[in-house]
Amino acid sequence: MKKLIQIALGIAIVLAYFIWESIQTPIRFNKEKDKRYAATIQQLKDIRTAQTAYKDEYGKFTASFDTLIDFIKNDSMKLVRAEGSISDELLAQGWTEAIAVQEGLIIRDTIRIAIKDTLFPENFNADKLCKVPFTENDLFEMATANLTVSKLNVNVFEAKVLNNILLHSMDRQLVINLNERMKNQNNFPGVKVGDIVEPNNNAGNWE
């Protein structure tokens, strides 16, 4: 009888462990996924910031990380500085900023400032911009395209990484399940900013 009780107790312990693991496995997965997603989203936001500044300067996005990294490290951007102001009395009389500039009350001066000193923090490492967080040597995919929208030519870009790359070494079946859920929601199965098929105002698929 005692032996039967010990066997039953052992089976109960094993069953309890498997039940506990079935609960904890997706919890651990989501915690690690959220950590990797957060770092990746921030990096894609940095790519978007750099791409937007690059387009402001050169009229188009770039598909080259080498070009974008060099732009961050060595290039500059225009900044319009205004000196002067319009008094409340003149505003009441219908003065606008354009009139104030014309009359010399406001003086605008265009200067150039270094990209690295303006758009990114002091310790920002531009050389890592292309590298997917939590991977050894994997790089983001980045591309540009020209689309016709309402008879207008629109230059667009996208940068992305698949879950299969970002969530490498994690539970394979849970990654497959996540991909299926995202595809069913017509979402890219990974993390992505911008789109080269349909303009989306450089939005991320997490937004």
Domain match, 87 and 132 both: no
| Paired sense of beta strands 141-149 and 107-114, if any | unpaired
Which residues, including other chains, have CB under 8 Å from residue 101's CB and lie 6 or more apart? 107, 108
Give the tens place of pLDDT for each residue, 58-91. Answer: 999 999 999 999 999 998 777 666 667 777 776 7
Of 89, 117, 145, the position where a domain reaches its end is: 117
Q: How far apart are CA 57 and CA 197, in angstroms?
A: 24
Q: What is the pTM of this model?
A: 0.78
Domain match, 101 and 45 both: no
Amino acid at 163: N
Domain count, the chain: 2
| Full domain range(s) for residue 187 | 33-73+121-194
- 155 - beta bridge partners? 146
Domain match, 102 and 180 both: no
Q: Is residue 6 part of a domain?
A: no
Average pLDDT, the chain: 86
Give the tens place of pLDDT for each residue, 134-162. Answer: 998 999 999 999 998 888 899 999 999 99
Q: Is residue 97 part of a domain?
A: yes
3-state class of 125 per DSSP? coil
Cβ neighbours around 168 below 10 Å, total: 16
Strand segments (E) across 46-181: 76-83, 107-114, 141-149, 152-162
Domain match, 102 and 150 both: no
Domain match, 109 and 131 both: no
- Kindly state the average pLDDT of the residues 101-115: 73
